[in-house]
Chains A and B, each alone.
Chain A
Amino acid sequence: MYVLLLLAVAATLLPFAWMLLGSFKTQGELLRRPVTWWPQEGTLANYISWFTELHIDKFFANSLIVAVVTVLGNLLFCSMIGYALAKMSFPGKRFLFLLVMVTLMVPGVVTFVPLFVMVSKLGLVSTYPALFLPFLASPVGVFLMRQFMLGIPDSIIEAARIDGAGEFRIFTRVVMPLCGPPLATLGILTFLGSWNNFLWPLVAAQSEDMYTLPVALSLFSTGQNATNYGLLLAGSVLVITPIVALFVALQRFFIQSVAATGIK
């Protein structure tokens, strides 16, 4: 079993190994055939240019700001509406939930242009809000939070209500502390989506100061007729590393929460 798993994981990670090794190669070596495996003329130049002349730190900061705000916003808003949908009754509840779920099935490409027109009419183009506002309300988050909260016993909430606690107090003191796993899941998923998003930040950011990592990656490595592969590979390694680290840190919660939400 170990042998099989090891083989499988090696096959899965092979592309990453090649990416990592490639990031230490020169453009000349990457263009040469036959393809080399180990760098023949290893170089740190690709990484050096990212950190010096290309100021990756600036784009990194932009990506981080956008991702963190998107994550925090989603955690807050989705758990709030999730609580209302799971534990309260109000007119329009079923319709609201259905509406949110239906939008999950609409292809994203269709709203792209209208969304941009909307953002520009609101005067938000090339601001941070333009980069995160449209992503603060994710239907997946609502689903995840609602499903998990359905599983919280009513008796706990009832007890708090009898004790005279208001709904906001119940939400912050009773419900949220129980929601670690789905919050971790939603956090990872939202962070991933925001971190890897390319087309929207490209369009919504109209000055280089606002570019995020994927946009910068494409800007500096892909020319009209030629691609700087070494730079692209090194940049990819730099983009991937933080999210892999994040997943390693949170993966335990992640699996727990899927176990708690997905199977209902």
Chain B
Amino acid sequence: MFKKRAALSAPRMLHPSATKAAAIGLSAALLLTACGRDNGSGSGSTESASPIASGPATGTVTVWAQGAEGTALPALAKEFEAANPGVKVNVTAIPWDAAHNKYQTAIAGGTTPDIAQMGTTWMSDFSDAFEATPSAVDTDDIFPGSVKSTDVGGTKYGVPWYVDANVVFYRSDLAARAGHETFPTDWDGFKSLAKDLQSKAGAKYGVALPAGGADSFQRILPFVWSGGAQLVNKDSTKWTLDTPELAEALNYYNSFFTEGIADKNPATGAGAAESAFVNGSVPMWIGGPSGIGELEKAGGAGFADKYKVALVPKQKSATSFAGGSNLVVFKKSQNRDAAWKFIQWLTQPEIQVKWYKATGDLPASQSAWKDPSLSGDSKLAVFGDQLKDVNSPPSLTTWTQVSAAADTQLEQIVKAGKDPASALKELQSTADTIGTGR
């Protein structure tokens, strides 16, 4: 019943009996039943789940979903219950604020639900507790860039539920005044548009870009990927941060700040970015689909005609960030058959369209995008295009730490004038210390 993860503990092991005594002492202290999990999570090795039982779903399925998703899901789940008379879906809505905390403690306490909504960047944090996706669950129709976000160490956990990609929001009216009738496609063009917005269209800053702080590095990944940089090597055994590609991307990015096109200290208060966009003082940003709704509220009627969205600018590629959420099943689930069935049902194209109409969440299913409610909207169409070229951060357990270290370096580059090359050297050595967890 004790399965040692020898690979991890061996190098630091002092004395077998001391280790055992400490472990037993701890488990006693924590009141743990030591045989909680017998499914040894071999780090690096791939796993596969047992197939799903046939027939309609039965029993109770508990689902945790965050914020608006959690409050909207019960209505949709009623339809699933109607189609499967023996099933009951219990949804608990969780605040986004501390959802990560909540999952972490629930896993620690062994009190996980059957299904949970996982932010794409959280997959590797908790993948130990997830069940691998059974082969019967078909993901062919889902955007491949999003499916990649469910892959941790070669095993797929869960299915993308809704997707989200960052695109460029810009004031098309001001761009036209600055002499840009069409949106530029490459890095140079993007910068000159930002410059012209500043010099010819009265903007205070050409574009709003993250200048540091939590998750800032994650938000600039579109530039990193589009510049051809990769964060880890092929088999994910080493961080590749100190590379010419990444240095070039950061130099380009930093030039917006050094040339005064972007604000080193962007206002972070409530609605600050929206109002700056609406009043034209900072008429361009890179963001996700929620921006559409926010701008509608901040800009009022008719504002929708004053701005457009566009693909992220291209260097070697025009790759953006695959956001959104996946649905996962926990290993501890008592009703995994019904849980997987519910997930399969939720990711069907027609249900995805219904979900989009209820919440505004963009469908992960590609065929759902053929529905006129999506294909007929010129702004959403851009998101649909962008989703064909998206990437996710490496799904490694140590990514959150490396990304936090990268946030710090980015902030030092932008705010403290640190040289990108030496920042990357430092970042590389920090990341090497942290390791890839493989």
Residues of A within 8 A of B (CB): 26-28, 30-33, 112-114, 116-122, 125-126, 198-199, 202-203, 206-208, 215, 218-220, 222-227, 229
Count of chain B residues near A, Cβ 8 A: 47
Residue of A nearest to B295 (CB): A31
Indicate if the CB atoms of B108 and A117 lie closer than 8 Å: yes
B67 touches A229 (CB 8 A): no
Contact partners of A207 in chain B: CB under 8 A: 90, 92
Which residues of B sit under 8 angstroms from A224, Cβ to Cβ? 66-68, 96, 119, 290
Residues A199 and B95 in contact in the complex (CB < 8 Å), given A28-B300, A31-B275:
no
From the candidates B64, B104, B276, name the one contacting A33 in the complex (CB within 8 A). Answer: B276
Chain B residue at minimal CB-CB distance from A225? B290
Is the Cβ of A28 less than 8 Å from the Cβ of B297? Answer: yes
| Residue of chain A at shortest CB distance from B109 | A120
B31's partner among A33, A113, A117, A226 (CB-CB below 8 A) is: A117
- Which residue of A202, A215, A222 is within 8 Å of B67 (Cβ)? A222
In this complex, what residue of B is CB-closest to A34? B275
Segment at the interface with A among B47-55, B137-145, B252-260, B266-274: B266-274
Residue from A26, A33, A203 in contact with B279 in the complex, judged by beta carbons closer than 8 Å: A33
Evaluate contact between B31 and A121: CB separation under 8 angstroms: yes
Q: Which residues of B are interface residues toward A (Cβ below 8 A)? A: 29-33, 64, 66-68, 70-71, 90, 92-98, 101-102, 104-106, 108-111, 113, 119, 270-272, 274-276, 278-279, 287-288, 290-291, 293-294, 297-298, 300
Task: Count CB-based A-B contacts (< 8 Å).
Answer: 111
Are A202 and B66 in contact, with the CB atoms below 8 A?
Answer: no
Tell me whether B95 and A113 are in contact (CB under 8 A). no
A117 touches B67 (CB 8 A): no
Nearest CB on B from A49, distance (A): 12
Contacts of A202 in B (CB 8 A): 94-95, 98, 101-102
Closest 3 CB pairs of A and B: A31-B271, A120-B109, A218-B95
Nearest A residue (CB) for B271: A31
- Residues in B whose Cβ lies below 8 Å from that of A119: 109
Q: Name the B residues within 8 Å of A203 (CB-CB).
A: 98, 101-102, 105-106
Report whether B109 and A117 are in contact in the complex, using a CB–CB cutoff of 8 Å.
yes
Contact partners of A225 in chain B: CB under 8 A: 287-288, 290-291, 294
Residues of chain A within 8 A of B97, CB atoms compared: 218, 222
A223: nearest residue on chain B (CB-CB)? B67
Known pairs A33-B271, A225-B294. 9 more at Cβ < 8 A? Answer: A31-B275, A31-B294, A33-B276, A120-B110, A121-B109, A202-B95, A218-B95, A219-B93, A224-B119
Q: Which of B66, B104, B271 has the most CB of A within 10 A?
A: B271
Contact of B270 among A113, A117, A227 (CB under 8 A): A227
B residues in contact with A116, CB < 8 Å: 105, 108-109
Task: Determine the chain A residues whose CB is within 8 A of the CB of B272 once the complex forms.
Answer: 33
Q: Which residue of B lies closest to A53 (CB)?
A: B71
- Chain B residues with CB under 8 Å of A30's CB are 270-271
**B281 and chain A: residue at smallest CB distance:** A33
| Least Cβ–Cβ distance between A90 and chain B, in angstroms | 28
Which residues in A have their C-beta under 8 angstroms from that of B291? 225
B274 to chain A, nearest CB (A): 5
The answer to whether A226 and B294 touch (CB under 8 A), given A33-B271, A207-B92, is yes
Complex Cα spacing A203 to B64, Å: 12
Question: Which residues of A lie under 8 Å from residue B29 when comparing CB positions?
Answer: 114
Give the most central of B71, B105, B291: most A CB within 10 Å: B105
Chain A hits for B32, CB < 8 A: 117, 121
Instruction: Enumerate chain A residues within 8 angstroms of B288, measured Cβ to Cβ.
Output: 225
Bound complex: CA of A118 vs CA of B67, how far in Å? 28
The chain B residue sitting closest to A114, CB to CB, is B30
Query: What is the minimal beta-carbon distance from B14 to any residue of chain A, in angstroms?
Result: 23
For residue A207, which residue of chain B has the nearest CB?
B92
Select A32's contact among B68, B95, B104, B298, beta carbons within 8 Å.
B298
CA distance A120 to B108 in the complex (A): 9
CB-based nearest A residue for B33 = A121
In the complex, what's the smallest C-beta–C-beta distance from A203 to chain B, in angstroms? Answer: 5
- In Å, the complex CA distance between A166 and B88 comes to 57
A224-B66, A226-B290 given; A27·B297 CB < 8 A = yes
Can you list 8 A-B contacts with CB-CB less than 8 angstroms, sorted by A residue number? Answer: A31-B270, A120-B111, A121-B31, A121-B33, A203-B105, A219-B71, A222-B67, A226-B294
Inter-chain contacts of A112 with B (CB < 8 A):
105
A223 and B298 contact, CB distance less than 8 A: no
Residues in chain B near residue A218, CB distance under 8 A: 95-98
Contacts of B64 in A (CB 8 A): 206
Distance in Å from the Cβ of B297 to the closest Cβ of chain A?
5
With both chains docked as a complex, state the minimum distance between the C-beta of A115 and any C-beta of chain B, in angstroms.
9
Cα separation A176 to B273 with both chains bound (whole Å)? 58
Instruction: Decide if A219 touches B95 in the complex (CB within 8 Å).
Output: yes
Q: Contact between B111 and A206 (Cβ–Cβ < 8 Å)? A: yes
